Amino acid sequence: MRRPSKDSSHKLSAESQRLVSISQAVVQAASRIEERTWEHHLDTQLQKLLKTSHQDTIDTTLNVLFKEDLNAYDTLMEAVEAVSESSVMVEQHDGAEVTYQALLVAAPILAWTRFSIASGAIAPDMLSTLSAHFSAHLLAGGVQMAMAPTLFAIDQLPRTHAETYATTHKLAQAAHKGTAIKPVAKAPETAPFLADTRYLLVALVAPQGAPLFRWQEPQHHINFAAERANALEQWRIQADPTIARLLPGCGIEMLLPEAYYVACREADKQIRPVSIRAAVHYLTNTLAVEASDLRAVIAAFGEESADGQIDEYRVGFTVRQTNEVIYGIVWPLYGQEDEDGTPAEGLAGAGIPGMEEPKTPLDDIIACLNEAGISHIKRINERYVAEYCDDCGAPLFADPSGELVHAEMPEDAPAGNEHFH
């Protein structure tokens, strides 16, 4: 279950009421034919709203459904994501209509460093090289593509569904017509992190119903998983030298390029353990201490009016002999991780003897800390309202006594890139 925007009005307009009604109709459909008919109506309504940038109407509807009808909320959220990251184009060819489908794809790159992680414009020669490898190793035959000439940080990506919709259509037109795309004029500045994700955005265009990726082609249907793994491995091998030039001084790991929202969520999850490893590596090298000399303090955070819902854990690091938080990382929660842990799925959650119990997010954090060499871990039982520094906007972390503080490196720490959040 996904989270709604937290700052939208609860008043329902006629457009919002229509979205509520159709979303509920999809959930209550008694056949696949009826369900797809309602889904088509829902997509049509969303396309109108996204094309005219009526994001507030969609946000208001999602907030209402999140409180009143979670099944309809999930239906609407899935629909708005699908409509904003895809499009259909109809053209006339020799007197007949030909329909094309387009999909916005994100190719995430996990990066970690003691210095800074680059973002911004991609030089034409590197863009050409990356596009060639992307097409050759990942895409089905005949698929047109256009890669945005920008390496995006997460806070430089489209922020709303309406912005995603506009990006999808802009790149899809470029892919279909073979036109050039201008780099972002002035991308927002991004906060420095020891570990962060960078993204390539690509639009794919093919005749409607045709495969987009190699593993979707008919000859690979039986062994699609193996073909997908092989395609990812070839993409990593061939693109690695160019990505390394784009991200100097960084360790990198390229994830599977997928539909925009799925890829972004997967990258958000995968960067979390990398952030812990990068933090411990940075602290041990900067302070000339062993990992066993560090202590981690874990606290849960959420919105003030969220009825106890946990949105994220924050992990503050101290030297064992002191209470000063010298560094911190945020471990955001996704899906139903804000419940009493990751939801049980399939047989693992059915109480069958011998089946492993699902891990909670807290289990995962502690396991990552242990793997990084930190065994001194304190869990603060209190749930805090998410607070940030008034001056720089950095998140505040709980110290061993439970007080929320700003993470600050010691004054006598060696000079360098200490001002990470």
* Residue type at position 320: R
**Can you give the pLDDT at residue 83?**
97
pTM of the model: 0.86
Longest dimension (CA), the chain: 79
CA distance 257 to 134: 9
What is the pLDDT at residue 262?
A: 96
How far apart, in whole angstroms, are the C-alpha atoms of residue 171 and residue 41? 25
Detail the DSSP E strand segments found in 284-408. 294-302, 312-319, 327-332, 376-385, 397-398, 404-405
Q: What is the pLDDT of residue 93?
A: 77
Domain boundaries, the chain: 14-84, 88-265, 289-405
117, 145, 106, 108: which is closest to 246 by C-alpha? 117
Q: What percent of the chain has pLDDT over 70?
A: 89
Could you give the CA distance from residue 327 to residue 100 in angstroms, rounded to a whole number?
50
Instruction: Give the single-character DSSP code of 255.
Output: P
Mean pLDDT within 325-331: 92
Where do we find the tokens 């890139």?
417
pLDDT tens for residues 252-292? 999 999 999 999 999 999 999 999 999 999 999 889 999 99
Q: What is the mean pLDDT of the chain?
A: 88
User: How far is it, in rounded angstroms, from Cα 210 to Cα 214?
Assistant: 11
Half-sphere exposure of 226 (CA within 13 A, CB side): 5
Q: Rounded to a whole number, what is the distance in angstroms from the first to the last CA of the chain?
A: 28
Instruction: State the pLDDT at residue 352.
Output: 53
Q: Which two tokens stand for residue 173?
A: 């037109």
Q: Is the pLDDT of residue 339 over 70?
A: no
Q: Mind listing the pLDDT tens digit for each residue in 194-219? A: 999 999 999 999 999 999 999 999 99
pLDDT in tens, 29-58: 999 999 999 999 999 999 999 999 999 999
Pairing of strands 294-302, 376-385: parallel
Q: How far apart are CA 58 and CA 26, in angstroms?
A: 17
**pLDDT tens, position by position, 356-376:** 667 789 999 999 999 999 999
Lookup result for tokens 């925007």: 5
Q: Which of 8-17, 45-54, 167-176 has the lowest mean pLDDT?
A: 8-17
Three-state DSSP at 132 gives helix
Q: What is the pLDDT of residue 340?
A: 47
Q: Which amino acid is at 39?
A: E
Residue 351's pLDDT band, with cuts at 50, 70 and 90, is low
**Does the pLDDT value for residue 417 go beyond 50?**
no
Tell me the per-residue pLDDT of 217-227, one tens digit each, with 9 for 90 and over: 999 999 999 99
